[in-house]
Amino acid sequence: MGDNRRCLVLVVEDDPSIAEFVEAALTDEGYEVRVTPSGEEGLQQAAKERPSAVLLDMTLPGMRGSAFLAQLRRAYPSDIPVVLMTAAREEPAQAELAVQGLLLKPFDLSRLVQEVERVTEGKCRPGAA
């Protein structure tokens, strides 16, 4: 069963304050976290250490979140759940983007943890070796 696998969350976010908040919050909950500030680095990290979930900012420098998502889906069609993190007030269509969750910025700690727990449920266990 997959629930003994470690929970690795990849955070693709260029805003250092948001990235640090997310990393600290998820680490405190027992998740292993990798943070990358760009889509290109995020794809490299995903290939190196296949994450249990990805938290993706849609407005990244260079490669936009939608381009990152398209390349991730080509490499891993549905294996890796993705939660969008966006400040856009028009809610993107989750089904259209093939993502499993949405966090509207600013979001609070409990909402962040709840979303990550929901998309990783049964796939891994926080704090597992």
C-alpha span between 120 and 97 (Å, rounded): 19
The three-class DSSP label of residue 62 is coil
- Total residues belonging to the chain: 129
pLDDT for the residue 95: 46
Which residue ranges form the domains of the chain, and what is each CATH number?
Answer: 2-120 (3.40.50.2300)
0.75 exceeded by pTM: yes
Among 111, 37, 5, which residue's Cα sits nearest to residue 45? Answer: 37
* DSSP state for residue 5 in the 8-state scheme: S
* DSSP state for residue 8 in the 8-state scheme: E
If the chain, 129 residues long, is cut into consecutive pieces of 10 residues, what is the mean pLDDT of each piece? 74 96 96 97 95 93 89 86 83 64 90 95 79
* DSSP state for residue 29 in the 8-state scheme: T
